[in-house]
Structure 1
């Protein structure tokens, strides 16, 4: 019979609330997880009864805690691959929206981005429409977005450092642009980065993309390709994303984690992080 653990995370978790959650989950042990390593508090409650999770989720929602129920504790050393989305996942911004801001059309482009992220319109169609609106912009605007606006998601560096120490391979795959993924790959020491390429002629964006477009299926396919190349089991793969374009990728991983995601993604992902940083992923593993 599988042994389950309940992971509770938050910025300030009261002891009496932990005890109540243990009671609700049928757990007899409460253990601090990675104290001092995370930017927040995390606790493991075990053994947890997965049949009693409705009350646990309701309590955590009211208290503002994150909760995840995982079977059979897996050591971090067993993880072999991390696959991540870029925009609003590894970094805090949507690059295309910030590029559009350089043209004074951020609201128009951001509205299309939001609809695509919620799964209301086809990603390929939405990306083509948005990129077309960027025609004529000087390529130097991309560098300004990278240097002035791009920031890593809280906890991202902690997560990557911990995984890279274990020899975990890292794939950054994005429906965004190689201008940003290539720089992040070099900066963060990532194994591989895949994204779309903006066409530039005479130093200006043409409003078109070059080559094959990276979409939801591409993300899932690349995850499977690299997993098989590395000879990994499915439960040795973590995938993290936030939009509808990431759902197939999340489903293809043993640990598909929605990060600060849209409602559609939160309801379909196996695990969610809604308030803590990306370092919260580390709490899932022994």
Structure 2
């Protein structure tokens, strides 16, 4: 049995009724009214076979939709695993670091292709980091304080999760300089990322240790899940790039957030029009 979750900044009543009809649902219920920065409704019970029709309707209307098991409850979730760049935060940190050297366009083009799955992530990261050689370390602080912003809905999601005893893991193909600060700021349970080598207060253009790639993300999710004694359906994963796909597939609820086309196509769930607080609408 499924419930159909419809979300958007504004949802017309006539569209809700039409969606309920298409999904074979006889109940329309507002979800977490007053808690989210957008509108969300639950249509139940919903026939999963209506998915192609629902997808077409929502695409045209600009709505996010999700067929979620009717048994999904936030109280059953034990772990949320999330990517950092363009998921928890609105920027790609490496692109903004590159801007300090006047090479943002060059680096951003590589980042975009990597996130789309057109380039090997580890190789492309090594190439991009090499271009940062010689940059003073204090430029990273400038990126953090002046350019880094949380994705809309992030604080609502995390505060609600923490209030419900849910553990949080931030795992990024980005850099510990940023993940460690976000962990402290947001009270995240764990944070894992790449370490930029710094000598004489300047970036060397190298990464220390193994690169956090797609497989690492999936492995660390499973490791923490096992440590917590959780079932797969008790884990949520959020990401936007091709290097998040294995992590999303390893979770019970793998959600592509404002993601690249390849990721939207392969992920079980997607959020395109709402913030990260849209995750909460899935769960009673």
TM category (shorter chain) comes to: over 0.9
Q: Which residue of 2 aligns with 1:104?
A: 102
Query: Cα offset for 1:99?
Result: 0.1
Please tell me whether the aligned partners of residues 5 and 73 of structure 1 are also in contact (alpha carbons under 8 angstroms): no
Q: Which residue of 2 aligns with 1:226?
A: 224
Query: Cα offset for 1:138?
Result: 0.3
Query: Cα offset for 1:71?
Result: 1.7
Q: Which residue of 2 aligns with 1:147?
A: 145
Q: Which residue of 1 aligns with 2:81?
A: 83
Please tell me whether the aligned partners of residues 123 and 215 of structure 1 are also in contact (alpha carbons under 8 angstroms): yes
What are structure 1's unaligned runs of at least 5 residues?
Answer: none
Q: Which residue of 1 aligns with 2:278?
A: 280
Question: 1:127-146, aligned counterparts within 5 Å?
Answer: 127-146=125-144
Q: Which residue of 2 aligns with 1:30?
A: 28
Distance 1:99 1:73 in 2: 44
Question: 1:102-251, aligned counterparts within 5 Å?
Answer: 102-251=100-249
Query: Cα offset for 1:52?
Result: 1.3
Distance 1:185 1:161 in 2: 13
What are structure 2's unaligned runs of at least 5 residues?
Answer: none
Q: Count matched residues.
A: 284
Distance 2:135 2:147 in 1: 17
Q: Deviations over 1:238-272 (max 9, x none)?
A: 00000000000000000000000000000000000
| Secondary structure at 2:224 match in 1 | helix
Pairing partner for 1:48 from 46, 56, 73: 46
Q: Which residue of 2 aligns with 1:72?
A: 70
Q: Which residue of 2 aligns with 1:6?
A: 4
Query: Cα offset for 1:72?
Result: 2.8
| Secondary structure at 2:212 match in 1 | coil
| Secondary structure at 2:216 match in 1 | helix
Distance 1:72 1:23 in 2: 18
Q: Deviations over 1:7-49 (max 9, x none)?
A: 0001110111100000000000000000000000000000000
Q: Which residue of 1 aligns with 2:266?
A: 268
Please tell me whether the aligned partners of residues 86 and 174 of structure 1 are also in contact (alpha carbons under 8 angstroms): yes
Distance 1:249 1:53 in 2: 24
Please tell me whether the aligned partners of residues 91 and 152 of structure 1 are also in contact (alpha carbons under 8 angstroms): yes
Distance 1:71 1:236 in 2: 13
Distance 2:247 2:269 in 1: 13
Query: Cα offset for 1:73?
Result: 2.6
Q: TM-score, normalised by structure 1?
A: 0.99
Q: Which runs of 4+ in 1 moved over 3 A?
A: none
